[in-house]
Amino acid sequence: MARRFFVMGALLALVGVGIGAFGAHGLRAHFAANPNLEATFQTASDYHLIHALALLGVAWAVERWNHRLLVWGGYLLVLGAILFSGSLYLFSIANMRAMGAVAPLGGLALLAGWACLALGVWRSN
């Protein structure tokens, strides 16, 4: 399980770096024309990369404490990063306003993931 979370974290980071570079270089004209959307893209990118690194920590925690809540926490972080950052990327790049309603669901998944991680470590032997 630890290997799975490490790989997911590394792949999420890989995609995050690519999207961040695309945003900084390939979307320069888009954000010049829509400056109010650039901060939203930056928020998506920040949360994306932070939670990619967090999954590396989840891999270590699962190996160290081996509690089922840690596994749930890891999967919730993956889900949350995809929903939160993905919806904000779509909102800021494609101006898909409906995606603004998806971001809070991703945020809730991230919060639940962190709660599971804390509780899983607390309850482990």
Question: Is residue 31 within 8 Å of residue 71, measured between CB atoms?
Answer: no
Question: Is residue 59 within 8 Å of residue 73, measured between CB atoms?
Answer: no
- pLDDT tens across 23-71, in order? 999 999 999 999 999 999 999 999 999 999 999 999 999 999 999 999 9
pLDDT for 94 equals 95
- pLDDT tens across 90-107, in order? 999 998 999 999 999 999
Pick the closest to residue 114 from 79, 75, 77 (CA basis). Answer: 77
Split at pLDDT 50, 70, 90, the class of 125 is confident
pLDDT for 87 equals 98
pLDDT for 20 equals 96
Instruction: Write down the residue that tokens 């939203």 correspond to.
Output: 40
Q: Is the pLDDT reported for residue 16 higher than 90? A: yes
Mean pLDDT of 69-95: 97
pLDDT for 121 equals 97
